[in-house]
Amino acid sequence: MTSSRQSAATAPSQDLSQVRFPEGFVWGTATASYQVEGAVHEDGRGPSIWDTFAHTPGKILGDDTGDIADDHYHRYPEDISLMADLGITHYRFSLAWPRIQPEGRGQLNAAGVDFYSRLVDGLLERGIQPWVTLYHWDLPQPLEDAGGWPARDTAERFAEYAAAIHDRLGDRVPDWTTLNEPWCSAFLGYASGVHAPGRTEGPAALRAAHHLMLGHGLAARALREQGARDVGITVNLYPVDPVTDSTADRDAARRIDGLMNRVFLDPLLRGSYPDDLLADLAPVMDFDHVRDGDLATINAPLDFLGVNYYTRHVVRAGTRPAEPRPTNWVGSEDVEFVKRGIPVTAMGWEIDPDGLYETLTRVWREYGPLPLYVTENGAAFDDKLDADGRVRDEDRRSYLEQHFAAAHRALTEGVDLRGYFVWSLLDNFEWAFGYSRRFGLVHVDYETQARTLKDSGRWFAEITRANGL
Ligand code: FCB
């Protein structure tokens, strides 16, 4: 995706009062098990790679852990009430595999299944559709000990787990997402090592990426055999632009687009790896881990694609660092990432709503047609809980408004966008950043676990009810 930054994406005079979404549009909020649940030792839950990682000193800012998080495991009824106040139609959450299969295989842990069963029932009672993600990064530790995602067996174990839990919840849950952001699991987990399990073995990240997708394909097949209605996957996509039009910068953008976006989109939606990606990686590794039939399994039709969008990458050709450091960009370590000096969120991520428009229209143009959902979008800012009990987060409201408008522009151009999930319902454990970054529509006081709807949440409640801006 090159030099599209100056394209028709910008709509200078978009009248926001005209922004109406189609009837039946899905409005939701999203969370993930390790980020909100806490209760890590309760009711037979086993350890995940995130428990191990977070308890390794120096891995997480402030050495925070998910041990307690938002205590959602106990407070979910209150959290469901908050969702009802927000007027959302759907709640996207993930299942903690180690609650359901503490060893990552075999017998299901009845108490773990029961928790999710109660959560699903509680949502349905309030008229909120559960939208389940099977894997949002909390791999059972015993499976990592056996090799983790770089090992093929993990894909088989994932499909077994998926079928077993779908068998218990599938009667009440229509929408199933296999994986959240396999890029993060593979590259942050096994290449740069900034996420669990913290390994820094570049080629292992590519093997992990393949086995994650294989696990997706095997799980999707198993769920369909059980009569699942809607099965999809969520990927995190970024437009990747070259900082100049030079051949070298454009090549840098092509390489990063390959390692970030096309490494997943092509196998999932075309049944092949991009030739240029394989050529880029040839000096570093072979692809012997790809077996006959894998790509057909991975390429089985999707009922929807979930897109998580946060920002854009702008890159330039640089020089290979003299002291190699672990990076996510296996085989392309020389590429440099450029900041443009535009406003950023508390994550340091540049605020670029046009990038959402570009991402949705690109997927549609190059890989579609298929139903799309924005399964995550949102922003961290330095929120303050004022003395009068309000969080005046105009920055977050404005961020969301601009991104909703960008998504709407994609819709008006024919993209089959069916819904939008805000990240996140609650402030929560933001991975390597611990509790220092707040993404919620609802503020959480981590001392008392008190929840306070932020101003952005009040505003969002109007959007969901008006189905427009
Ligand atoms: C995404 C993750 C989600 C959250 C947001 C900010 O990459 O899927 O869990 O951390 O980023």
Query: Taking 90 as the threshold, does the pLDDT of residue 28 lie above it?
Result: yes
Share of the chain above pLDDT 90, in %: 94
- Which pLDDT does position 290 carry in this prediction? 98
Choose between 8 and 388: higher pLDDT: 388
Q: Are 305 and 372 in contact (CB under 8 A)?
A: yes
- Tell me the CA–centroid distance for residue 294 and ligand 1, in Å: 28
Lookup: tokens for 384: 């303050």
pLDDT band at 11 (very low <50, low <70, confident <90, very high): low
Determine the residue type at 104.
Answer: G
> Which protein residue's CA is at the shortest distance from atom 10 of ligand 1?
430
> Which protein residue's CA is at the shortest distance from atom 4 of ligand 1?
430
Q: Is 136 annotated as a binding residue?
A: yes
Lookup: tokens for 406: 């960008």
pLDDT band at 320 (very low <50, low <70, confident <90, very high): confident
Using DSSP's 3-state secondary structure scheme, residue 425 falls into coil
Q: Please give the number of the atom of ligand 1 that sits closest to the Cα of 181.
A: 8
Q: Please give the number of the atom of ligand 1 that sits closest to the Cα of 180.
A: 8
Q: What is the pLDDT of residues 187-229, one digit of tens each?
A: 999 999 999 999 999 999 999 999 999 999 999 999 999 999 9
Q: What is the pLDDT of residues 251-282, one digit of tens each?
A: 999 999 999 999 999 999 999 999 999 999 99
* Cα 52 from Cα 32, distance rounded (Å): 17
* Cα 91 from Cα 8, distance rounded (Å): 33
- Tell me the CA–centroid distance for residue 423 and ligand 1, in Å: 8
Q: Which residues line ligand 1 (CB under 6 A)?
A: 32, 35, 180-181, 184, 236, 308, 376, 423, 430-431, 439
Q: Which of 160, 181, 333, 401 is catalytic?
A: 181
Backbone phi, then psi, for 155, in 5-degree steps? -65, -40
- Cβ contacts of residue 229 below 8 Å, gap of 6+? 174, 175, 303
Q: Are 314 and 338 in contact (CB under 8 A)?
A: yes
Global model pTM greater than 0.85: yes
Q: Residue 181 catalytic?
A: yes
Average pLDDT over the chain, rounded to an integer:
96
Domain 8-466 has CATH 3.10.20.30: no
The whole-number average pLDDT for the span 80-108 is 98
Q: Please give the number of the atom of ligand 1 that sits closest to the Cα of 347.
A: 6
pLDDT band at 7 (very low <50, low <70, confident <90, very high): very low
Residue with tokens 């530790």: 141
- Which pLDDT does position 59 carry in this prediction? 98
- Tell me the CA–centroid distance for residue 119 and ligand 1, in Å: 21
- Say how many C-beta atoms besides its own lie within 10 A of residue 41's C-beta: 11
> Which protein residue's CA is at the shortest distance from atom 9 of ligand 1?
32
Using DSSP's 3-state secondary structure scheme, residue 335 falls into strand
Q: Is 377 annotated as a binding residue?
A: no
pLDDT band at 55 (very low <50, low <70, confident <90, very high): very high
Using DSSP's 3-state secondary structure scheme, residue 347 falls into coil
- Tell me the CA–centroid distance for residue 95 and ligand 1, in Å: 15
- Which pLDDT does position 321 carry in this prediction? 81
User: Best of 181, 437, 441 to mutate for ligand 1, by most ligand atoms within 8 A of CB?
Assistant: 181
- Which pLDDT does position 13 carry in this prediction? 59
Lookup: tokens for 463: 């959007």
Q: Is 310 annotated as a binding residue?
A: yes
- Which pLDDT does position 101 carry in this prediction? 98
Q: Residue 42 catalytic?
A: no
Q: Are strands 442-444 and 451-453 parallel, antiparallel or unpaired?
A: antiparallel
- Tell me the CA–centroid distance for residue 54 and ligand 1, in Å: 16
Q: Where are the domains of the chain?
A: 8-466
- Which pLDDT does position 324 carry in this prediction? 80
Determine the residue type at 180.
Answer: N
The whole-number average pLDDT for the span 19-46 is 98
- Tell me the CA–centroid distance for residue 98 and ligand 1, in Å: 20
- Which pLDDT does position 5 carry in this prediction? 40
Q: What is the pLDDT of residues 123-141, one digit of tens each?
A: 999 999 999 999 999 999 9
Q: Is 373 annotated as a binding residue?
A: no
Q: Are 127 and 87 in contact (CB under 8 A)?
A: no
Q: Is 420 annotated as a binding residue?
A: no
Q: What is the pLDDT of residues 219-237, one digit of tens each?
A: 999 999 999 999 999 999 9
Q: Is 116 annotated as a binding residue?
A: no
Query: Taking 50 as the threshold, does the pLDDT of residue 3 lie above it?
Result: no
Q: Please give the number of the atom of ligand 1 that sits closest to the Cα of 439.
A: 6
User: Best of 308, 377, 421 to mutate for ligand 1, by most ligand atoms within 8 A of CB?
Assistant: 308
CA atoms within 13 A on the CB side of 101: 21
- Tell me the CA–centroid distance for residue 405 and ligand 1, in Å: 21
Q: Which of 144, 333, 358, 376 is catalytic?
A: 376
Q: Is 55 annotated as a binding residue?
A: no
